[in-house]
C-alpha cells in the first residue's frame, strides 16, 4: 500500500496517538532512574503531567481526535477511542503527588502501553506511515 492509499482519518489517529506516546515517553525518560526531585523540579514535572492527564481524559470523553461536530470515524472507533478510554482509566496517579513515592513511572508506563499497542497495530495495518 502506498502513502496515497492511506485515508486521512488513519493519519490523524496515528498522529494523535504518536503525540501522546511521545509525551509519555518524554516524561518517563525524565523521571525514571532518579531517586530525588527538588521542590522546583517536582513543580515543573507537575506542570507537564497535569495537562497530559487532562488531554488524555478529554480525548477519552469525546471519543475522537478532534473536538468537532463530525461523527466518529471507524478508525477512531476501533483504535483511538479504546486506547484513550483505557489510558484514561489507568491514569490513576495524582498529579500533585511525589513522582518517586507515588511511582509515576509505573503508571505512565501502563498508560503508554495502552496507547502504543493500538498505534503499533495501525502501523502494521498501514505500513509506510511513521
Query: What is the per-residue pLDDT for 69?
Result: 86
Residues 6+ apart with CB under 8 A from 101: none
Query: What is the per-residue pLDDT for 3?
Result: 54
Query: What is the per-residue pLDDT for 5?
Result: 60
Query: What is the per-residue pLDDT for 72?
Result: 92
Other beta carbons less than 10 A from residue 125's beta carbon: 13
Contact 83, 17 (CB under 8 A): yes
Please choose, from the candidates 28, 27, 8, the residue with its C-alpha nearest in 3D space to the C-alpha of residue 16.
8
Contact 3, 104 (CB under 8 A): no
Residue labelled with grid coordinates 479504546: 82
The reported pTM is 0.91
Joined together, the cell numbers standing for residue 105 give 513511572
Residue by residue, pLDDT tens for the chain (130 residues) are 445 566 889 999 999 999 999 999 999 999 998 889 999 999 999 999 999 999 999 999 999 999 888 899 999 999 999 999 999 999 999 999 999 999 999 999 999 999 999 999 999 999 877 6
Query: What is the per-residue pLDDT for 4?
Result: 53
CA distances from 12 to 17, 55, 61 (A): 9, 16, 18
Query: What is the per-residue pLDDT for 7?
Result: 86
Residue ranges of the domains in the chain? 3-125
Amino acid at each position: 500500500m502506498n502513502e496515497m492509499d492511506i485515508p486521512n482519518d488513519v493519519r490523524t489517529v496515528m498522529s494523535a496517538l504518536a503525540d501522546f506516546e511521545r509525551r509519555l515517553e518524554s516524561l518517563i525518560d525524565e523521571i525514571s532512574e532518579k531517586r530525588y526531585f527538588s521542590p522546583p523540579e517536582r513543580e515543573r514535572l507537575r506542570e507537564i503531567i497535569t495537562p497530559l492527564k487532562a488531554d488524555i481524559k478529554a480525548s477519552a470523553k469525546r471519543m475522537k481526535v478532534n473536538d468537532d461536530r463530525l461523527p466518529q470515524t471507524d478508525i477512531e472507533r476501533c483504535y483511538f477511542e479504546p486506547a484513550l478510554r483505557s489510558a484514561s482509566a489507568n491514569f490513576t496517579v495524582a498529579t500533585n503527588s511525589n513522582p518517586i513515592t507515588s511511582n509515576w513511572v509505573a503508571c505512565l508506563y501502563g498508560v503508554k502501553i495502552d496507547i502504543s499497542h493500538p498505534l503499533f497495530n495501525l502501523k502494521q495495518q498501514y505500513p509506510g506511515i511513521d
